[in-house]
Structure 1
Amino acid sequence: MIELAALLAAFLEATGREAAIWERREGSVVPTLLGASTPSFAERTEPGAMAWDVATWARAQALHAQLVATGDSVGWLFVEAGHAPDADRLLGRLVPVVRRLIRERDGATRELVERYEEINLLYAIGELLGGTTSVEDVADTLLGELAATVGAKRAVFLHTNRAQGLLSPIASLGLGETSYEAVSLDRADHIAVRAYRTGGACTEDGVAAALGDPVLSGQGAPLLAVAITRPSSGIGITGTFAVPTRRSDGGAVPLGVLVLAGRDGGLPFSAGDRKLAVAVSTQIGTAMHNASLVRAAVERQQMAREMQLANELQLKLLPNPRVVQPEARAAARVVPAESVGGDFFLLARLDRDRTGVLIGDVSGHGYQSALIMALALSAAGIHVQAAFDPSIALEAVHRSLRDELESTEMSISMCYAVIDTRAGELRFANAGHPHAFAVTADGQCLRLSAVAPPLGWCEDTIEECVMTWKPGTRLVFFTDGVVDARDAAGERLTEPALLDTLKTMTNGETPEQMLDALFRQLDAHVGRTPLRDDCTVVVVDRP
């Protein structure tokens, strides 16, 4: 041992005394020299190491002899006589420490040498997976690298198809013209299914292997199957490329299975082979999970862009409040709870004396409501121009949308009012819309009561109502998303709170000022709490 020889040489230099250490293993007759300060002293002490009574021999040679432990054996430390016994004892304590460190170093070195190919494989696979976003594209290479390292001649890479209940092959090795069919997850006897269900590794040989995978095992060649599982981060994602989060039994859902067979000489797969296969499968599972996250992120970004575009298109469908000028003034705002919503309004300059104002709220919110909203707005735009009577216009809209409302099981609350300044009247028809008001110059809020249920509920006749219209009166319509807006504690804004704000506006405020005041009240109430429903407010007056 070079290290022990160096230690004993340093002892010689420091004390001027020679030293040697001999080891005698259990069951061995011939002792082994572990180290000596000089070759001559090693030769001098060899007879003592072989002596029956080492201590007696050492005294006869004027040497000191210490019995020291050297790990799994014992040894004798011979030192020339001198006047520093403490140095001898210190040397006796140092020798076992140095010996243990040497053993640990040599053991680690052997482990690295034995596992070099495995480490190299893991590194190569890491490089391979790091350069692709699709494991399927490199599945053949992955399978070949792993099979070569564990000495398998045949192998298959199976991908989980949960929708069909199958493990489907995406890569194979060494099968020639043989076709490897997808494996049903109901086949409990198949080794790949067993690995899938346990989420770990399985090995078989002999008759059991032939039954576990007849294609790969053939006449009973040893088999190794290992499940490919994603990292158990607990992160869930949604979308077309969603990765399953957790199994019902608490384990991670395998993304696939690797099955290997056909080792040289028919040798079974070892515990080391299982450990390596599990490490590789973890790398692959991580890469597949990361690729799914990337795909899902791209999908979400694309969806966000599409929803933003839909929002912009929907807002463009709504009329500009200036369309009723110069006879009337109007202000309106729609804030969807999602990117798109089901609230809408319509303003119509029917003639110099009449202005039409319509508000609608499709049940629900989101993309489906937005589609019905677009149809309703289009139909209303046609019918309010064709029929000056509000009730006739709403019934015509209902007929146009009847099939869509029935098929989607949705409904629309809608109120349409016509301001007629020549007649001094406000004529309106209200199909289930609860929040429609005429606000007088002195702050009175007169409700335009519903005379029929929302469109889509039934075929009831929609009656027309008439009330007096006086200068200074404003129409204020809003949807239930404004009334039901919640704060962080879940408290509703409520209709009375909104009406209290309107009652204070008796100084000739413009529609824009009234609209801004209502939305400031809404924003102050909800704060950072997300809206639960679409919010729309329309304000119109005829000075």
Structure 2
Amino acid sequence: MTEVAALLAAFLEATGRDAAIWERREGAVTPTLLGASSVAFADRTEPGAAAWDVATWARAQALHAQLVTTGDSVGWLFVEPGHAADADRLLGRLVPVVRRLTRERDGATRELAERYEEINLLYAIGELLGGTTSVEEVAETLLVELAATIGARRAVFLRADRSQGALAPIATLGLGDAEYEAIALERHDHIAVRAYRAGGACTEDGQAAMVGDPVLATRGAPLLAVAIARPSSGIGITGTFAIPTRRATDPVATPLGVLVLAGREGGSSFTAGDRKLAVAVGTQIGTAMHNASLVRAAVERQQMAREMQLANELQLKLLPNPRVVQPEARAAARVIPAESVGGDFFLLARLDRDRTGVLIGDVSGHGYQSALIMALALSAAGIHVQAAFDPSIALEAVHRSLRDELESTEMSISMCYAVIDIRAGELRFANAGHPHAFVLAADGQLVRLGAVAPPLGWCDDTIEECVITWKPGQRLVFFTDGMVDARDAQGRRLTEQPLLDTLASMTHGETPDQMLHALFSQLQAHVGSTALRDDCTVVVVDRP
């Protein structure tokens, strides 16, 4: 030790007498030099430090030898002879200083050994958690590692189940056949609940421990409970392990579980160092559990995205190809859902050489539930428009097929079905609450096909059929209210009139595809990068 060597060098300078201190640690074969006033004197006294009878050897060498207990070892102080009173007093002060230095050294060594175990534990847990995305799979091993380091014989790993309001065990240690039940978060007397609510560590022993956890704390064995929670973003690697208290509704601050340890060897209480280590482990596990939940959420989002994309593709495949009405008619149609799937749909039917059926529907709302009702409605419509000659009869049949689903979901469908009859020169239609259905003449004049009944699902009113004249050059144009309600970045609606103005300007024999392209270009120019709030559908049909 450099401090001892410095002291002995100062002693030599003050007294003119060489000195050296050797120690023999338990289990060591050879002695160790703590310090000497000179290298020559260290070499001279080394054989004496290793001698079986140190005092006899010292007398033979005309040296003074004094036994010095140095912390966890036994040592000898060798000094050249002399009888100056000042030197003896200085020597008397030297020995206590050496004892203090060695005790500090030994204490630091023991603490380093203890810290090494803790560091080794944290490293082992880090390796264990780094190899899995499921902490539950390694929970039992985590308990074994932590209990072995702290000296506990029994332990339990509890995971928070906030939906059930309880802490549920996922791993236990040393309980034998005893069963550890889930702990309700209302049990404020239980040590695990107290640690969970405090977001930190709690200790108990004696009678209080038996109340705090009667399963683990048999005969009053000491208890240590620590919350499993990841640290806040402000805590660094070298910072404190204290867990910040936040609102209980904050998912980041709420602990993810609790570790409870008990039955320490010898019945001794858990120390502050044990608490600190347990909190560090709880923080490490909490961070791993939080990260694992993020990974699972990301995987679920990716899976959901793939499933929604598949649902979108399947839904679009349900819709008919506009070419089904060829060669008697020309048609163009497009559906853009506000989400991956939507509730808008259309149907085109080549009823015979003289008649072409055109149907549009809009299920209330949008998203997954609307898409399910849409699929049912499209399937029912595909059956009934072929079986019924009159559009009103077809819509009533569709309503009967969907009545139970519409009532249970409290949803509705606006639907308009029109049949172009070239032989009779008529357009027969029935409109159940659909506001945007038009006949466009060759000169740009628009005639609205008004609703004659509320949307399907509102009531059981009879749906009346209407008949108007159909002339060559006329076109059917149906669209849903998603087109009308589309908003720009300032929240302004597109409204119906600009769409009708665009249609009225098409008097040069534009094809259905060209008209469809013009309407959706107008929609895109209005909304820009703003997300659609509702599904958008347009159907254009003409029969030259």
Give the TM bin, normalised by the shorter chain: 0.7 to 0.9
In 2: Cα distance, 1:181 partner to 1:134 partner: 22
In 2: Cα distance, 1:173 partner to 1:418 partner: 76
Q: CA deviation at 1:257?
A: 1.0
Q: What residue is the counterpart of 2:184 in the other structure?
A: 184
Letter in 2 for 1:139: A
Task: Check 1:296–1:496 CA distance in 2 against 1; reply closer, same or farther (3 A cut).
Answer: same
In 1: Cα distance, 2:424 partner to 2:542 partner: 16
CA contact (8 A) 2:8 2:35 kept: no
Q: What residue is the counterpart of 1:464 in the other structure?
A: 465
Letter in 2 for 1:150: I
Q: What residue is the counterpart of 1:448 in the other structure?
A: 449
In 1: Cα distance, 2:507 partner to 2:3 partner: 101
CA contact (8 A) 1:155 1:216 kept: yes
Q: CA deviation at 1:470?
A: 2.1
In 1: Cα distance, 2:280 partner to 2:343 partner: 52
> What per-residue deviation string (whole Å, max 9, x for no partner) do you get for residues 9-38 of structure 1?
9x9xxxxx979999xxxxxxxxxx988677
Q: What residue is the counterpart of 1:420 in the other structure?
A: 421
> What per-residue deviation string (whole Å, max 9, x for no partner) do you get for residues 390-437 of structure 1?
112111111121111111111100011111222222221111000111
Q: CA deviation at 1:201?
A: 0.5
Task: Check 1:48–1:421 CA distance in 2 against 1; reply closer, same or farther (3 A cut).
Answer: farther
Letter in 1 for 2:396: E
Task: Check 1:253–1:21 CA distance in 2 against 1; reply closer, same or farther (3 A cut).
Answer: farther
Q: What residue is the counterpart of 2:486 in the other structure?
A: 485
Letter in 1 for 2:407: E
Q: What residue is the counterpart of 2:311 in the other structure?
A: 310
Alignment of 1:70-219 (within 5 A): 111-219=111-219
CA contact (8 A) 2:15 2:87 kept: no
CA contact (8 A) 1:383 1:397 kept: yes
Q: CA deviation at 1:296?
A: 2.1
Task: Check 1:249–1:430 CA distance in 2 against 1; reply closer, same or farther (3 A cut).
Answer: closer
Specify every segment of 5 or more residues in structure 2 that has no aligned partner in the other structure, as ranges: 18-33, 42-78, 91-96, 235-245
Q: Determine helix, strand or coil for the equivalent of 2:127.
A: helix
Q: What residue is the counterpart of 2:44 in the other structure?
A: none
Alignment of 1:426-445 (within 5 A): 426-445=427-446
Moved more, 128-137 or 292-301: 292-301
Q: What residue is the counterpart of 1:508 in the other structure?
A: 509
Q: CA deviation at 1:112?
A: 3.0
Task: Check 1:36–1:461 CA distance in 2 against 1; reply closer, same or farther (3 A cut).
Answer: same
CA contact (8 A) 1:390 1:427 kept: yes
Alignment of 1:382-397 (within 5 A): 382-397=383-398
Q: What residue is the counterpart of 1:265 in the other structure?
A: 266
In 2: Cα distance, 1:133 partner to 1:249 partner: 23
- For the pair 1:345 / 2:341, whether they are aligned, the reply is no
In 1: Cα distance, 2:454 partner to 2:473 partner: 30
- For the pair 1:226 / 2:226, whether they are aligned, the reply is yes
Task: Check 1:453–1:257 CA distance in 2 against 1; reply closer, same or farther (3 A cut).
Answer: same
> What per-residue deviation string (whole Å, max 9, x for no partner) do you get for residues 464-499 of structure 1?
222222222111111011111111211111111111
> What per-residue deviation string (whole Å, max 9, x for no partner) do you get for residues 179-235 of structure 1?
22222222111111111111110001122112111121111111100111245569x
Letter in 1 for 2:515: M
Letter in 1 for 2:350: R
In 2: Cα distance, 1:231 partner to 1:492 partner: 47
TM-score of the superposition, structure 2-length normalised? 0.79
Q: What residue is the counterpart of 1:374 in the other structure?
A: 375
Task: Check 1:272–1:469 CA distance in 2 against 1; reply closer, same or farther (3 A cut).
Answer: same
Task: Check 1:518–1:21 CA distance in 2 against 1; reply closer, same or farther (3 A cut).
Answer: farther
CA contact (8 A) 1:332 1:537 kept: yes
Task: Check 1:534–1:250 CA distance in 2 against 1; reply closer, same or farther (3 A cut).
Answer: closer
> What per-residue deviation string (whole Å, max 9, x for no partner) do you get for residues 265-311 of structure 1?
22111111000001111111112222222222222222222222221
Q: CA deviation at 1:154?
A: 1.2
In 2: Cα distance, 1:105 partner to 1:342 partner: 78
Task: Check 1:3–1:452 CA distance in 2 against 1; reply closer, same or farther (3 A cut).
Answer: same
Moved more, 165-174 or 247-256: 247-256
Specify every segment of 5 or more residues in structure 1 that has no aligned partner in the other structure, as ranges: 12-16, 23-32, 54-72, 74-99, 235-244
Q: CA deviation at 1:105?
A: 10
Letter in 1 for 2:222: P
- For the pair 1:286 / 2:282, whether they are aligned, the reply is no
Q: What residue is the counterpart of 1:62 in the other structure?
A: none
TM-score of the superposition, structure 1-length normalised? 0.80
In 2: Cα distance, 1:361 partner to 1:155 partner: 59
Q: What residue is the counterpart of 1:404 in the other structure?
A: 405
CA contact (8 A) 1:6 1:37 kept: no
Letter in 1 for 2:448: R
Task: Check 1:329–1:232 CA distance in 2 against 1; reply closer, same or farther (3 A cut).
Answer: farther
Q: Determine helix, strand or coil for the equivalent of 1:279.
A: helix
In 2: Cα distance, 1:114 partner to 1:45 partner: 44
Identity across matched positions, percent? 81
Letter in 2 for 1:499: L
Task: Check 1:115–1:504 CA distance in 2 against 1; reply closer, same or farther (3 A cut).
Answer: same
> What per-residue deviation string (whole Å, max 9, x for no partner) do you get for residues 28-83 of structure 1?
xxxxx98867778x979996975889xxxxxxxxxxxxxxxxxxx9xxxxxxxxxx
In 2: Cα distance, 1:296 partner to 1:449 partner: 48
In 2: Cα distance, 1:279 partner to 1:231 partner: 10
CA contact (8 A) 2:159 2:168 kept: yes
In 2: Cα distance, 1:20 partner to 1:416 partner: 119
- For the pair 1:277 / 2:278, whether they are aligned, the reply is yes
Moved more, 283-292 or 273-282: 283-292
Task: Check 1:500–1:222 CA distance in 2 against 1; reply closer, same or farther (3 A cut).
Answer: same
Task: Check 1:321–1:46 CA distance in 2 against 1; reply closer, same or farther (3 A cut).
Answer: farther
Moved more, 496-505 or 274-283: 496-505
Moved more, 105-114 or 170-179: 105-114
In 2: Cα distance, 1:528 partner to 1:146 partner: 54
CA contact (8 A) 1:20 1:36 kept: no
Q: Determine helix, strand or coil for the equivalent of 1:322.
A: helix
Letter in 2 for 1:479: T
Task: Check 1:52–1:135 CA distance in 2 against 1; reply closer, same or farther (3 A cut).
Answer: closer
Q: What residue is the counterpart of 1:89 in the other structure?
A: none
Q: CA deviation at 1:169?
A: 1.7
Task: Check 1:194–1:20 CA distance in 2 against 1; reply closer, same or farther (3 A cut).
Answer: farther
Letter in 2 for 1:404: E
CA contact (8 A) 1:19 1:36 kept: no
CA contact (8 A) 1:205 1:221 kept: yes
Q: Determine helix, strand or coil for the equivalent of 1:186.
A: coil
